[in-house]
Amino acid sequence: MSPTLTDASPVFTDPADSLAIMERTRSTAETFGIPLAVLAELTHRCPLQCPYCSNPVELDRGSTELTTDEWKKVLSELAEIGVLQIHFSGGEPTARKDIVELVQHATDVGLYSNLITSAVLLTRDKLSALADAGLCHVQISFQGNEPVVADRVGGYRNGHAKKLEVAKWTRELDLPLTVNAVMHRQNLHQLADIIQMAVDLDADRLEVANVQYYGWALKNRAALMPTIDQIDETSRIVEDAQLRLKGILDIDYVVPDYYALRPKKCMGGWGRQFFNISPSGKILPCHAAETITGMEFESVRSNHSIAWIWQNSEAFNRYRGTGWMPEPCQSCAFKEVDFGGCRCQAFALTGDAGNTDPACTLSPVHAEIFKLAETESTEGRDRFIYRNFKGGTLEPDADDVHGR
Amino acid sequence: MSELRSNRRISVSEDSKPVLPRHARLKFDETRQRWVILAPERVLAPDDIAVEILQLCDGERSVADIIDLLVAKYAAPRDDIGTDVMAMLQDLADKGFLTQAREKTS
């Protein structure tokens, strides 16, 4: 004997991609197996205004959101075609009045459910109702380790204190907790304290996610971009904590790709193992894909099934595999390692999603962009443009702002 | 808090009475025709023997009971089976996906 447990597919991180094990056997999608996990962005509404929000700059209005019945139908269909996990996200998913009903439906159709939340709208009763409805895991975002920085970044007064309270309830209800900390120049000095905060909150996992620069974050790049010294220090702190906290806290670390030599394997490869559903029902290869203007994405409101859209829609097939790649990707030994990096980033920085991701040192524009980012990181332009439905609001001038 | 933690990260011994916590679900995946363990941000693919062991982990049987059952079924040396069972369960416990029935204190 010699029983083994293979890590089939970490959902966001990807230390050892053994997805092939799950893809090998027959599945509904013949060429590209249906993803194991799907991200459902229930709404773009959110009480927080983080300047690096991963939602597109053009937010879906509440009136365009899928109805409760439409989401239930989607969840049933996902379970039927072989999706195993559903991540309820947003915006703020608990801004939907039907969140408990949707979690219950996910449970009823056999989906493992995860709530990705800012936590500020939750009451203990609501969290308890979610647990009773079968919720399996809670991920709470933190903007810092104390309220001055955290509430300024989130643009929401008393948010940090509320998050701490909800994290405590989460563990009291015996739900596993992941702390998600998005890091940038203006909170990286708190990283060691954020790690300790996650331990004190009795979290299972900590995601240390450096900001990725498209959409809102690109608008705010000058205010967010870390310095090279900060990045060196960050890597040291994370590596030290990973060793020290082995068996106590799992730490996933997303490296900032502006300072990497090779691009990240974004989404595990376009249309390869992930899709998400936007508030209005569009099926997207990545939660930032709508930042690529000129692409048409099919909706669950169309006549097509979700499996059909995943397998056959033009948007999913355009950058699938390696055939679409230009040079220097096409002849690159790493083309099936990173699948050319991030399409959204290529679009944001070069105007063409089909170009090599400039995060790669082999991109002809890498040096220029890296230099620009490095310059921005040292200029001290710290004012945020807050994310909102109005296209963003510039933070008041420094004299009026606390928390710097 | 430290008490919670020590309960969650167990050290597997023959006396342990392991059980999957509510956030680690053993499920048969009809689409892919195989067993999976669903956990936060993870899908684990246990092989047939691992599944057999996990199905015996009900929080009442001890690891020693489980090993005895498998020794009888496979007619294999107890040492070999014991080593493999403990290693697999400890691996799962280290990932945070195995807990044990709490001792009654009152």
Task: Please determine, for residue A108, whether its predicted confidence score (pLDDT) is greater than 70.
Answer: yes
At A71-80, the pLDDT tens digits run 999 999 999 9
pLDDT value at residue A162: 98
What was the ipTM of the complex prediction?
0.83
pLDDT band at A32 (very low <50, low <70, confident <90, very high): low
Name chain B contacts of A8, Cβ cutoff 8 Å: 36, 42-45
Q: Would you state the structure tokens that stand for residue A327, as one six-digit string?
A: 């040079």
- Mean pLDDT across the stretch A331-350? 92
Interface with chain B: mutation pick from A78, A112, A140, highest number of B CBs within 10 Å:
A112
pLDDT in tens, A222-247: 999 999 899 989 999 999 999 999 87
Whole-number Å distance between alpha carbons of A285 and A306: 12
Confidence label for A132 from pLDDT (cuts 50, 70 and 90)? very high
CB distance A319 to A189 below 8 Å: no
Checking if the pLDDT of B105 tops 60, the result is no
- Pairwise CB contact (< 8 Å): A4 & B46: yes
pLDDT more than 90, % of chain A: 76
Which of A401, A60, A54, A47 minimizes the C-alpha distance to A220?
A54
A202-224 burial, b at 16+ Cβ within 10 Å, e below that, comes to bbbbbbbbbbbbbbbbbbbbbbb
What pLDDT is recorded for position A247?
78
Burial A248-259 (b: 16+ CB within 10 A, else e): bbbbbbbebbbb
User: Which of B98 and A196 is assigned the larger pLDDT?
Assistant: A196
**pLDDT computed for residue A318 by the predictor:** 94
Distance CA A266, CA A260 (A): 13
Measured in angstroms, the CA of A63 and the nearest CA of chain B are apart by 31
Report the pLDDT value the prediction gives residue A85, as an integer from 0 to 100: 96
pTM for this predicted structure: 0.89
Pairwise CB contact (< 8 Å): B47 & A84: no
Kindly report the nearest CA distance between residue A331 and chain B, in angstroms. 33
pLDDT for A81-102, tens place per residue? 999 999 999 999 999 999 999 9
Establish, for the pair of chains A and B, how many residue pairs have beta carbons separated by less than 8 Å: 118
Residues of B within an 8 Å Cβ radius of A: 1, 4-5, 8-9, 21-23, 25, 27, 29-34, 36-38, 40-47, 49-50, 52-53, 70, 74, 76, 80-81, 84-85, 88, 91-92, 94, 96
Q: pLDDT tens digit string along A265-312?
A: 888 899 998 999 999 999 999 988 998 988 999 999 999 999 999 999
Least confident range from A7-11, A14-18, A397-401: namely: A14-18
Judged against a pLDDT cut of 50, whether residue B35 lies above it is answered with yes
- What's the token pair of residue A291? 């930042």
- State the nearest Cα–Cα gap between B91 and chain A, in angstroms: 8
- Whether the CB-CB separation of A139 and A180 falls below 8 Å is answered with yes
Report whether the peptide linkage leading into residue A364 is cis, meaning its omega lies within 30 degrees of zero: no
